[in-house]
Amino acid sequence: MNFLFLVHRFPKEHSKYAKKNDNRITWVGRFIRKTRLDELPQLINVLKGNMSFIGPRPEWDLLGRDYEKKINLYKLRYAVKPGLTGWAQVMYPYGENIEDAKRKLEYDIYYIKHQSFVLDIIILFKTIRVVIFGKGM
């Protein structure tokens, strides 16, 4: 069954946000997420030029459209190419609600405003640290 169908039909039972101990996540899914194998399609998009390596992390389209309506200035994230990793990802934990999305937007706007080679290097090293030590969801 299509997950988008479930979210639209049963929004309370099938939340848009994954939680730390979400019972929908199988051991295989947890392994794929921990090893970051789920990032391979985004890496292909970086190589094709559709994404940047560093920039605001793309949001699930359903949530993105919802945030555009509910969060002031959310569309500013689209001023730069989406990235595989970004300032919000290395500075703020995994988002679980709209308040987290607002906070992450602040980091994304900071990145857009202060985008530089030095900031990109800082983000790159922070990302490497997260990947090596298995932090994050």
Bridge-partner residues for 54, per DSSP? 85
Euclidean distance between CA atoms 54 and 72, whole angstroms: 23
pLDDT of residue 12: 54
Higher per-residue pLDDT: 91 or 8: 91
Q: Residue 125 above 90 pLDDT?
A: yes
pLDDT of residue 15: 55
Position 31 confidence tier, pLDDT thresholds 50, 70, 90: confident
Prediction pTM value = 0.75
Bridge-partner residues for 82, per DSSP? none
Euclidean distance between CA atoms 117 and 123, whole angstroms: 10
The end-to-end CA distance of the chain, in Å, is 25
- The 3-state DSSP class for residue 54 equals strand
